[in-house]
Amino acid sequence: MARAEREANEKRAKELLNRPWKMLIGGELVDAIGGETYDTFNPATGERLAKAPFAQERDVNRAVQEAEAAFPAWRKTPVTERVALVRKMISVLKEKASDLALMDSVNSGNPIANMIPDVHLACNMLEYLCGAAMEVKGQTIPSTSANWHMTIREPYGVVGRIIPFNHPIMFSASKIGAPLLTGNTLVLKVPDQAPLAGLLLGELIRDIFPKGVVNIISGDGATTGNALVRHPNVKRISLIGSYETGKRIQMSAAEVAIKHVSLELGGKNPMIVFPDADLDKAVRGAVAGMNFMWQGQSCGSTSRLFLHEDIYDEFVARLKASVEQIRVGNPLDPDTQMGAIISERQYEKVMHYIRLGKEQGAVCLTGGERPQGEEFAKGYFVLPTVFTEVIPDMAIFQDEIFGPVMSVIRWKDEEEMIAQANSTLYGLTGAVWTRDIHTAFRVIERLQSGFTWINGTSRHFIGVPFSGQKNSGIDSEEGIEELYSFTQIKSVNIILE
């Protein structure tokens, strides 16, 4: 059955790939003005899949101009009508979920089993935003009987959003919602490593929104992304990406104008296990938290596992057995649990850190190499990898690898452990496992992380804001906070005497 499904997936993927790949600008499917393209690949085979449009500065200018032209009418469109159009998009996403998932899987290396749920997750996020949109409102402020004061929330105008490669269709779809529902128009740059699902989405929603309200472009960061960030008429920029990219965007934007820049960046996140934790659940939580199902390519991965010395040996043995059960394989096979790293460059980065871990004295408990077999010879595959006896001065302790590499740290003293957990430049997520609620809250309060779990990992929840501390970000993604972030406040003072 699985072989038949894989063959059916491969056949349908070939059919979908056999099309001209174009950007959505001003309601039209277009090439780059000069015809520039770049190759995009299948990470599981290394084979070229298609030529994607490579937007240059003039293409970005055109997209911004179309969004500017559409803004006055879209701003005046009642919220209820904007909601109705977003819900039409949700219907299209559900209808075309299989095709979008296939393009995502073949272009990003993520297992197909995860990609259809990713489409439906985007739908759920959009449904929440549709329901919350009417709650984006101002306040009345008490003052004197002679004067009234109030605030109103207004859209920025043209918004630029730049999304990463690890969840291409989920981000492409869900990140359209908040800017549009709050009255902005949008230029969305899809990930250069995996643009196809986002470009297909543009084709599918072309006729839903008025021309220019949604524009979807493809290209790299240095040319396309930088032109969007630096465009003087794009006041609001949103990035989901790496810490290094976030710094560059802040600097580049500031050279042009004062802009509202929100950043959801990387993480080197701790999962802390106390001796009284439920070990069966905690082991499952550690594996889930590492996001091996995404090849470890997740900013929220709990990639540093802090185990109390009393449970260290037993936990490590169970962890090794569990990780070695993960089925690495072709992303289009429905039984595959872990696919391929996104690109050769990222694969080499992961392998570099694995070598560093070994050189610096960590013990490679399992993995650390390419899987055996002909089907893994050409793609960018790495076995799920666990290092033990990791200490803070090792690179695999400090640096975000963005690959399937977990570091296990032995601890005894709580104060020292918390200091180590907080010792990286990141502060995105964190998890504490214990049956003692007092211990849980004592440690959670001291973790320098923006999104945390007690006896859990990995999961996001509809309506709950996702944000980082320290160098892991500014502002919130998800929740009503995301909607608010795409508005600016205007105060209105009514003088009655």
Question: Could you tell me the mean pLDDT of each successive run of 10 residues in the chain, 497 residues long?
Answer: 87 95 98 98 96 98 98 98 98 98 97 96 98 96 87 98 96 98 98 98 98 98 98 97 96 96 97 98 98 96 98 98 97 97 97 98 98 94 98 98 98 98 98 98 98 97 96 95 97 91
The confidence score (pLDDT) of residue 360 equals: 98
pLDDT score for 496: 87
Active site residue 299: yes
* Rounded Cα–Cα distance for residues 344 and 346 (Å): 5
Q: pTM for the whole thing?
A: 0.96
The yes/no answer on whether domain 270-461 falls in CATH 3.40.309.10 is yes
Active site residue 264: yes
pLDDT score recorded for residue 476: 93
Question: What local confidence, expressed as pLDDT, does residue 1 receive?
Answer: 66
- Asked if residues 468 and 264 have their Cβ atoms less than 8 Å apart, the reply is yes
The structural domains of the chain, with segments of one domain joined by +, span: 2-265+473-491, 270-461
- Choosing from 264, 477, 478, 482, the catalytic residue is 264
Contact in structure between 233 and 66 (CB atoms under 8 Å) = no
Task: Look up the CATH superfamily of 2-265+473-491.
Answer: Aldehyde Dehydrogenase; Chain A, domain 1 (3.40.605.10)
299, 477, 478, 482: the active-site residue: 299
